[in-house]
Structure 1
Amino acid sequence: MITNFSLAIQKVIQVNMFWQLFLESRGRRGILATDDEFDNITYEKVDLTDSPEITLDSISGVLEVAILLDREMTNSYSFDIRANDGINRGIQFLPIVTVQIVVLDVNDNMPVFVNPPYEFTIEEGVSDGHQVNPSYERISVTDKDIGNNQPSEFSIISGHDDRFMIDQNGNIITTLDDSAGVEKIIDYETKQVFDLVVRATNIEDGPAGSVFSEVNVTILILNINDEDPIFSASSVNQIISIPEAMSGVINTLQAMDTDDVLSIPTTFTYSIVYGNNLINGLHSFAIDPTSGSEAKLTKNISYT
C-alpha cells in the first residue's frame, strides 16, 4: 500500500478561464482555477469511475488521499473536476479538467514460494557440486510488486550443515569441498535427513526494511550398499577334538553390515580365502556360501 501518487492532466476544457497544476505542502496535489473577473470559484469532483479513495476540497481544489492506497488492487484513478464561479451559464458551459492519478509501487509485498513445501532425494556419496533438485523442480517465488521491487535473492539460513547452497536459479547444490581440511560427505549412516530453511529476500528494501519469506526444504538421503560386511569377531582361535570335527558344524561366525537392512536387504556370500589346504584332493574345511548371516564352518576330512 502507498499514499504517494503521480498526477497528470489529460485534457482541459476552457471557458474564459485557465488552469494550472500545483503542488501543496504535505504531499497534497490540487487543481487551481482562476477567473479574470475575480469571482469565487468552487470545485466539484465528477468520478468517471468510483474513486472514494481520493477526495477534493471544494474551496481550495486540493486533492487528498482518504484511505491508504493499494497499487495491487487499483493502480490508477481517473475523474473530472468541474469549476463553478457561481455565474448561471449552464452546466454544459462549466470548465472541466480530467485528472489521471497513477499509484506508484513500493516494496510492500513479500515474495511467495511456488508449491511449497519442497522435498528432494539424493543418494549418499554424491560429489561436490551435485544438483539436488531436478531442473523442472526449481525453487521459485512470485511477487505482486513490479519493477525493481519484484526480484528476490535466495539463501539457506539453517539446516545445511555446510553441505548445501542454493543458487539464484533456485537450484540446491552440494558444497563438499574439503580443501579447508575438513572432510564433508553425504553419508546415510551419519544423517538420513537434512531439514533446510530457504529464504527469498527482495533485492530492494521496503518501507519497513528487508522484505523476505521462508520455506522448509527437506532433503532425504538414499542409502546405497557402500559399507563392507564385518564379522562379530576379528579372529577366532579354536581347538577341536576329533569327535567334534566329525559331528558336522565346527563353528558359526556372525556377519553384519552397517548399511540399513530395511532400505537395502543384505545377503552375504561366504568363502574361505586362505589356509584351506588340500588333503587327498579335498579341502580341509568347507563353508556354506549362502547361509544368511551365519557362516557355518565344517570339516571335510574323516578320521579313522
Structure 2
Amino acid sequence: MLTFSLVSSQVYNQNGRSGMLSHPNSLVRQKREWTVPPAFIREEEDNSYKNPIAKIHSDLEDTGIVVTYTISGQGVTEPPYGLFVINGKTGDLNITGRVDREKTPMLLLRGHALDKTGAKLEEPIDLPIKIVDINDNFPVFSHEVFAGSVEELSETGTIVIRINATDADEPNNLNSKIAFRIVSQSPSAAFSMDKDTGVVRVAKINLDRETQSSYSLVVEAKDRGGELGGNAATCSLEIKILDVNDNLPVVESSTFEGSIEENRANVEILRIKVFDRDEEFSDNWLANFSFVSGNEGGFFRIVTDTQTNEGVLTVVKVTLPLTCGISSTYI
C-alpha cells in the first residue's frame, strides 16, 4: 500500500494560524482508496524550513523490494513548475519556492512507487495541498470617482448609490471581507453609508438644491471587516442634488406699461421679467405665460423667451388703441 504522511509538526490551518498536526499520519479509508487530508502551505512565505513537508512510503519496501518514489502534478510536471522535489529513495517531499494563492489556491500532487525498471508497483496516491491566504491585497473600487444623484427634499433613508469594491484575497475569508465608511463629506452629515453593503443613503432631511447643489465625499473600503491593521483604499463620490419644482415664480413688477404705433402687427411691445430659484433653463424654471383677462379680442400674444425667462408681449391684430396698460395679474 502506498501512503503519504505529513511529517512537518507545524502547519497552518484554514484560518492561517499555525498549530500541531492532530494526526501526523492521518489517512482515511474510503471506498477501498486512500485519501489524504490536505496539507497547508502559507502563501508568499518561504516554507522550506518545514522540509520535508510530507513523506511518501510504500509498504512493499518493508518486504525488501527496492522502491523508487516520484511525483507529478501541479508544481512538478504542471505549472507552477519546480515547486516540489522528492527524494526518490526516502520519499521525502520538499518545497523549493513561494506560492501565490491568488494564482494557485490549491495544488494537487500525485505520488508514484516504481520498481528499479521504472514499472509501476502500485496505484498512485493523491496529495492535495491547500495554499493558506494572507492579507496581501488591498480593496479595489470599481471606479476611482463615483457619481450619484438624489432629488432635493428626499426623505431620510432614500438610497443614493451603491459603492462597489472587491478584494482578491480568499473569498468568504476575513482578509477579503470589506467594510465601508465615509471618511469625509462636504458639507457634512448629509449622507450615511452601510458598512457591509456600501449603500449610501440620505441622512439629512430638507436637502435643498437652491442652497447646496452638490456634495463631495471621500469613501473608504477596508478589508478584515474594517478592523485595525486591515488594508484600506479610498475613492471619491460626487453627489448631485436634483431639482424639484419647489419655488414659485416671482414677477419683477406688479404692473407693466407699453406702447406701439397704430396699425402695426407682430411688433414686440414689452417684456415681463420673472425670477424663479429652481434650476435655470429647466422646466421647473421656465415660466408659462397666459392671459387671465383683457385679451378677449385676441389682439395680443405672449410667449416665453427660453433664454431669459421673460414673457414677450406682441401685437397680432392691428386694430387696437395707441397705448395700453398690462397688469401682471393678467399673466
TM-score by length of 2: 0.54
Shift of 1:192: 1.8
- C-alpha contact 1:54 1:63 (8 A) present in aligned 2: no
Q: Which amino acid aligns with 1:201?
A: K
Q: 1:104 aligns with which of 119, 132, 138?
A: 132
Q: Structure 2: 5+ residue runs without aligned partners?
A: 11-48, 261-270, 292-300, 305-309, 314-323
- C-alpha contact 1:107 1:204 (8 A) present in aligned 2: no
Q: Which amino acid aligns with 2:149?
A: T
Shift of 1:163: 0.3
Shift of 1:77: 2.0
- C-alpha contact 1:156 1:198 (8 A) present in aligned 2: yes
- C-alpha contact 1:201 1:213 (8 A) present in aligned 2: yes
Corresponding residue SS for 2:127: strand
- Partner Cα distance (1:293, 1:112) in 2: 53
Q: Which residue of 2 aligns with 1:148?
A: 173
- C-alpha contact 1:120 1:218 (8 A) present in aligned 2: yes
Q: Which residue of 1 aligns with 2:83?
A: 54
Point out the more displaced range, 114-123 or 159-168: 114-123
1:1-304 equivalences in 2 (<5 Å): 12-13=1-2, 20-23=5-8, 26-28=49-51, 29-31=53-55, 44-47=70-73, 49-51=77-79, 52-56=81-85, 58=87, 62-81=92-111, 88=116, 91-93=119-121, 98-114=126-142, 117-133=145-161, 138-144=162-168, 145-149=170-174, 150-159=176-185, 161-167=188-194, 168-176=196-204, 185-204=206-225, 209-229=229-249, 256-263=275-282, 264-267=284-287, 292=310, 298=325
| 1:162-187 deviation digits (Å, cap 9, x = unpaired) | 1011223333211116xxxxxxx422
CA RMSD of superposed structures (Å): 5.1
- Partner Cα distance (1:213, 1:299) in 2: 64
Alpha carbons of 1:260 and 1:99: their partners in 2 closer, same or farther (altered >3 Å)? closer
Alpha carbons of 1:77 and 1:162: their partners in 2 closer, same or farther (altered >3 Å)? same
- Partner Cα distance (1:166, 1:110) in 2: 20
Q: Which amino acid aligns with 1:21?
A: L
Which contiguous aligned blocks of 4+ residues in structure 1 show a shift greater than 6 angstroms?
37-42, 268-271, 288-291
- Partner Cα distance (1:221, 1:163) in 2: 11
Shift of 1:230: 5.2
- Partner Cα distance (2:280, 2:231) in 1: 46
| 1:234-282 deviation digits (Å, cap 9, x = unpaired) | x9xxxxxxxx9xx9xxxx99653333432343328799xxxxxxxxxxx
Alpha carbons of 1:290 and 1:22: their partners in 2 closer, same or farther (altered >3 Å)? closer
- Partner Cα distance (1:189, 1:63) in 2: 72
- Partner Cα distance (1:146, 1:232) in 2: 64
Size of the alignment, in residue pairs? 246
Corresponding residue SS for 2:173: helix
Shift of 1:298: 4.5
- C-alpha contact 1:111 1:142 (8 A) present in aligned 2: yes
Q: Structure 1: 5+ residue runs without aligned partners?
A: 1-11, 178-184, 236-243, 272-287
- Partner Cα distance (1:107, 1:299) in 2: 77
| 1:195-233 deviation digits (Å, cap 9, x = unpaired) | 333333223579x93134434333221223333555779
